[in-house]
Amino acid sequence: KQEVTQIPAALSVPEGENLVLNCSFTDSAIYNLQWFRQDPGKGLTSLLLIQSSQREQTSGRLNASLDKSSGRSTLYIAASQPGDSATYLCAVTDTGRRALTFGSGTRLQVQP
Amino acid sequence: DTGVSQDPRHKITKRGQNVTFRCDPISEHNRLYWYRQTLGQGPEFLTYFQNEAQLEKSRLLSDRFSAERPKGSFSTLEIQRTEQGDSAMYLCASSSTGVITDTQYFGPGTRLTVL
């Protein structure tokens, strides 16, 4: 059974810092990996999707990498802003399935 | 493209009552998913439809839960004889088989509180 772990569970940084969020998964037979953002009490917003054949994806100040063989992904946020404060969730789709398996998230607070 | 919509946004009910939630996917999306999220946890998969066919169900979907997607458009999730443990955010997502990345787009969720 696929399990997804995110470290750290919570992170507080001053505005302007670069930061890295970590995600690990136990079964490397994945179809893709997605990073989502969730604001308190709201739904999820898709940030980046990496196909299993890809190594990284970039969108603006966000860069996500994937090392499928070691079961790891990182989300790099450059020059963090208070508006980046949210919970960031990592999720994988196993090969042959459509369901997403999520980690518990990293709660990020960026201090002005 | 108005995004995925869910109704109601909030539902408070008493234990033992039945509740029904509705999800309207993005119009051109033929895949629809239901997830449940409790406080401090990531969402957990419940079930998935491709068009009107329910193709996968989680063990979390007990016999008190039933989901339908008539005509492959909107979907409903019904919980019968609600229990306090059913209190959670119920999230709906949709995606398209026509897009290779199969990105899932989520709605705002329905927050259920069972008293």
Residue pLDDT, tens place only, A33-86 = 999 999 988 889 999 999 999 999 999 999 999 999 999 999 999 999 999 999
CB-CB contact of B36 with B90 (8 Å): yes
pLDDT of residue B99: 62
Q: What is the pLDDT of residue B61?
A: 84
pLDDT tens profile B72-111: 899 999 999 999 999 999 999 999 876 666 789 999 999 9
- Taking the CA of residue A25 and the nearest CA in chain B, the distance in Å comes to 14
**Which among B45, B50, B106 is the nearest to A44, CB-wise?**
B106
On the question of a cis peptide bond just before residue A8, with omega within 30 degrees of 0, the verdict is yes
Give bridge partners of residue A74 from the DSSP assignment. A22, A65
> Strand A62-67 to strand A72-77: parallel, antiparallel, or no bridges (unpaired)?
antiparallel
Q: Would you place residue B60 in the very low, low, confident or very high pLDDT band (cuts 50, 70, 90)?
A: confident
Which residue in chain A has the smallest CA separation from B33? A99
Dist CA A23 CA A72 (whole Å): 6
Q: Which residues of B touch A43 (CB under 8 A)?
A: 4, 91, 106-109
Query: What local confidence, expressed as pLDDT, does residue B100 receive?
Result: 63
Q: How many other C-beta atoms lie within 10 A of the C-beta of residue A27?
A: 14
Give the tens place of pLDDT for each residue, A2-32: 999 999 999 999 999 999 999 999 999 998 9
Question: Closest chain B residue to A43 measured between Cα atoms?
Answer: B108
The total number of residues written for chain B in this structure: 115
Any CB–CB contact under 8 A between A42 and chain B?
yes
Chain A residues with CB under 8 Å of B36 CB are none
Residue among B48, B91, B105 whose CB faces A98 most closely: B48
* Beta-sheet pairing, B10-13 with B110-114: parallel
Nearest by CB to B107, from A43, A97, A101: name it. Answer: A43
Separation CA B43–CA B92 (nearest Å): 10
Give the side-chain half-sphere CA count within 13 A for B46. 26
Closest partner residue to B48 among A32, A51, A99, by Cβ? Answer: A99
pLDDT digits (tens, 9 = 90+) for B4-53: 999 999 999 999 999 999 999 998 899 999 999 999 899 999 999 999 99
Measured between CA atoms, how close is B37 to chain A, in angstroms? 10
The amino acid that residue A6 corresponds to is Q
The answer to whether the Cβ–Cβ distance between A44 and B56 falls below 8 Å is no
Amino acid at A84: D
What is the spatial distance between Cα A105 and Cα B8, in angstroms, rounded to a whole number? 26
Q: Which residue of B has its CA nearest to A46?
A: B105
B44 and A36 within 8 Å at the Cβ level: the answer is no
